[in-house]
Amino acid sequence: MVNFQAVLDNIADEVRPLTTQGKVADYIPMLARVPADKFGMAVATLDGGIYRVGDAEEHFSIQSISKVYTLTLALKAIGDALWERVGREPSGSAFNSLVQLESERGIPRNPLINAGAHVVADVLIGQGLDARAQLLDFVRRRSDDPSVGDDPEVAHSESLTGFRNRALANFLKSFGNLDHEVEAVLDFYFYQCSLTMSCADLARGFLFLANRGICPWTGEPVLTPSQAKRIGALMLTCGTYDAAGDFAYAVGIPAKSGVGGGIVGIIPNQLAVAVWSPALNAKGNSLAGTAALELFTTQTGMSVF
């Protein structure tokens, strides 16, 4: 039996010096204000354990981690029809790259890059419900934390400087791959990116993906086992963008990162683990967070390989 608390304590000591080596995302001005020396990590196990270290209960901007939640909701809503509008291949490009979208005629490579998430957002706002409320309620129930919220200042700040997202959404629209207006899609997209959660929330909130789609404490089937397997596969191949190969090599688990400095990973049938350190590496993934997850799989001997 692994002593998760001892592992987390040890990792926190080891990676703390790395927290100031990366660069906090500053293309979203509100994110640039977050202190680089924050560090938190949490593990939630399927048998009900929760382990924390550092700033594991502090809420931060989950940014692209939200793409896993919206993908989950879109698959629940329209199933495999989603794949007519978005692919399932790693992009090998930056998360906000415009290049492939033009040459591949408006079909984003996968749902975990920005353009793919815009298509997913378009699906969700087309379901005839209040998409924001539906997402927030879903995320709160997954993490079992009613204090999960959104940060309108972060969303507004991103919208003011969201030139690349606007360009991507306009490309999608020009190819007929958005049903709704560009600004309506971006409004929802910036909202989902502004959700604030803690490492403990994220670890609990991804357990359903480590549990064949079933929420461990309510028994609710959130996804079918097959859908949960497919989301795990997408996280492994696309969840850390053009670093996905390196990340799989170093860490060896499906994971999703965000430019807020969060990364959450799953080990099927065992646990979910989340880490937060705001300073990023050149690929836009948390530098110390990646190192912490590599230490976690190494020290516990747990991965998907």
- Of residues 152 through 191, those in contact with ligand GLN by CB under 6 A are 158, 165
User: Any idea which residues carry the catalytic annotation?
Assistant: 64, 67, 189, 241, 259
C-alpha 241/C-alpha 93 separation (Å) is 7
Tokens for 129, please give them: 């419900």
The minimum distance between CB 95 and ligand GLN, in angstroms, equals 4
Q: Using CB under 6 A, count the residues that bind ligand GLN.
A: 11
What angle separates helix 182-193 from helix 131-143, to the nearest 10 degrees? 20
Instruction: Candidates 36, 135, 155, 193: give the one binding ligand GLN (CB under 6 A).
Output: 193
96 binds ligand GLN (CB under 6 A): yes
C-alpha 16/C-alpha 291 separation (Å) is 10
Q: Which amino acid is at 16?
A: R
Cβ nearer to ligand GLN, comparing 14 with 58: 58
61 in Cβ contact with 151 (< 8 Å): yes
131 binds ligand GLN (CB under 6 A): no
C-alpha 261/C-alpha 296 separation (Å) is 17
Instruction: Candidates 15, 41, 54, 63: give the one binding ligand GLN (CB under 6 A).
Output: 63
Beta carbons within 8 Å of 94's beta carbon, 6+ residues apart: 241, 242, 283, 284
Helix (H, G, I), strand (E, B) or coil at 23: strand
64 binds ligand GLN (CB under 6 A): yes
Cβ nearer to ligand GLN, comparing 25 with 56: 25
- Of residues 1 through 60, those in contact with ligand GLN by CB under 6 A are none
259 binds ligand GLN (CB under 6 A): yes
Using Cβ positions, the residue closest to ligand GLN within the complex turns out to be 64
C-alpha 111/C-alpha 187 separation (Å) is 18
List interacting residues with ligand GLN (CB under 6 A).
Answer: 63-64, 95-96, 114, 158, 165, 193, 258-259, 284
